[in-house]
């Protein structure tokens, strides 16, 4: 199948850096990793090749991604297990994997599979059905949202998730256009956005529909809500010495990851305290100082890597529910 060949040719973003960050946790005998965003299976394939004793549970909400990645990873047999779910269920997956796990990887945002398959409706540069659902079998599509939401709600979504300065103008234009004919195609939405924007906004910042498409996609898929629930669930899933590695591609995601990591690695005691009690020591430490960025070579070879921010933390102390059951299950 052409899709499988495309998946096999796909190179994951910052793969070398991800493997280096995961290595201390995955070099343990019988280590288990959860890939929260399986996609086409590129990260998982690299992990399974680099660490011959590792088992990976790959989560994805997209049935097509599950199918393609499973075909790609079939040679690894039972060392790979696919899970059709949203990745805020990472703790439940860890329990099914035998308890707590040694590493969790999150490669956030829309996948290359979804972007490259025109009919999925994620791209503003090619016409398709106005869908944008990561799981096309579940929930309302982008068209459903845009044709039923109020102008105020649409404006709030465009501003909150896309930081679109002209959110209100675009929302009002969408409501006016749909009164004549419902929006059903991505090209129609792009044209509406172009007509709504002032000329000054059209001359900078790349494609004028980029921010709106991002915002609508995030809304339709509940991406930030899922990430907000998934981060503590992933941290709860880790063994001592386990690592959480996250790649974020837009500022809202990265801000949430950065704040979560800061909170769990900061000592919360008075500044004048002469010593830090053991009970106040943080449960995690930062592995990356700030965010790692792609190399110049990777940027040249894969322009889609440009926005990525890579961060990682490691668990230091035992999970509360591990203390009576042993460090590893």
CB 323 within 8 A of CB 31: no
Structure token pair of residue 148: 């039923």
For residue 162, the number of C-alpha atoms closer than 13 Å in the C-beta half-sphere is: 27
Structure token pair of residue 320: 């509360």
Q: Is 114 annotated as a binding residue?
A: yes
CB 33 within 8 A of CB 6: no
Q: Is 107 annotated as a binding residue?
A: yes
Of 81, 186, 41, nearest to 126 by C-alpha is 186
Distance CA 93, CA 233 (A): 10
Structure token pair of residue 65: 């991604």
Structure token pair of residue 168: 């209100």
Of 316, 283, 247, 251, nearest to 36 by C-alpha is 247
Q: Is 296 annotated as a binding residue?
A: no
Kindly tell me the burial class for residue 36, based on how many C-beta atoms sit within 10 Å of its own C-beta (0-12, 13-18, 19 or more).
buried
Find tokens 């992933």 and name the residue: 234
Find tokens 């110049």 and name the residue: 296
Q: Is 43 annotated as a binding residue?
A: yes
The CA-based angle 57-109-195, given to 5 degrees, is 155
Backbone angles phi, psi at 56, to 5 degrees: -120, 130
Q: Is 127 annotated as a binding residue?
A: no
Residue 76 is classified by DSSP as G
Distance CA 76, CA 23 (A): 19
Question: Within a 10 A sphere around the Cβ of 225, how many other Cβ atoms?
Answer: 13
CB 52 within 8 A of CB 79: no
Kindly tell me the burial class for residue 199, based on how many C-beta atoms sit within 10 Å of its own C-beta (0-12, 13-18, 19 or more).
exposed
Find tokens 């096999």 and name the residue: 8
Known binding-site residue numbers for S-adenosyl-L-methionine: 41-43, 60, 87, 107, 114
Known binding-site residue numbers: 41-43, 60, 87, 107, 114
């Amino acid at each position: 199948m052409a899709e499988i060949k495309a998946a096999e040719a796909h190179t994951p973003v910052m793969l070398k850096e991800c493997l280096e960050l995961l290595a201390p946790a995955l070099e343990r005998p019988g280590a288990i990793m959860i890939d929260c965003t399986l996609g086409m299976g590129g990260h998982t394939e690299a992990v399974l090749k680099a660490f011959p004793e590792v088992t990976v549970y790959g989560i994805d909400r997209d049935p097509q991604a599950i199918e393609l990645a499973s075909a790609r990873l079939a040679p690894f047999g039972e060392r790979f297990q696919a899970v059709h779910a949203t990745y805020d269920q990472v703790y439940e997956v860890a329990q099914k994997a035998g308890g707590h796990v040694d590493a969790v990887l999150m490669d956030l945002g829309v996948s290359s599979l979804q972007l490259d398959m025109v009919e999925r409706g994620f791209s503003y540069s090619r016409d398709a059905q106005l869908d944008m659902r990561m799981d096309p079998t579940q929930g309302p599509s982008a068209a459903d949202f845009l044709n039923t939401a109020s102008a105020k709600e649409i404006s709030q979504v465009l501003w909150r998730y896309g930081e679109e300065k002209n959110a209100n103008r675009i929302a009002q234009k969408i409501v006016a256009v749909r009164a004549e004919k419902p929006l059903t195609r991505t090209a129609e939405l792009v044209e509406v956005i172009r007509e709504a924007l002032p000329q000054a906004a059209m001359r900078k910042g790349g494609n004028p529909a980029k921010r709106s498409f991002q915002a609508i996609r995030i809304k339709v898929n509940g991406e930030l809500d899922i990430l907000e629930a998934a981060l503590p669930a992933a941290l709860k899933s880790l063994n001592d010495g386990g690592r959480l590695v996250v790649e974020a591609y837009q500022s809202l995601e990265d801000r949430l990851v950065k704040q979560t990591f800061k909170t769990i690695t900061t000592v919360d005691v008075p500044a004048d305290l002469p010593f830090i009690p053991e009970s106040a020591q943080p449960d995690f430490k930062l592995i990356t100082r700030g965010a790692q960025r792609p190399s110049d070579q990777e940027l040249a070879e894969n322009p889609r890597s440009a926005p990525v921010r890579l961060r990682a933390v490691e668990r230091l102390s035992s999970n509360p529910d591990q203390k009576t059951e042993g460090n590893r299950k």
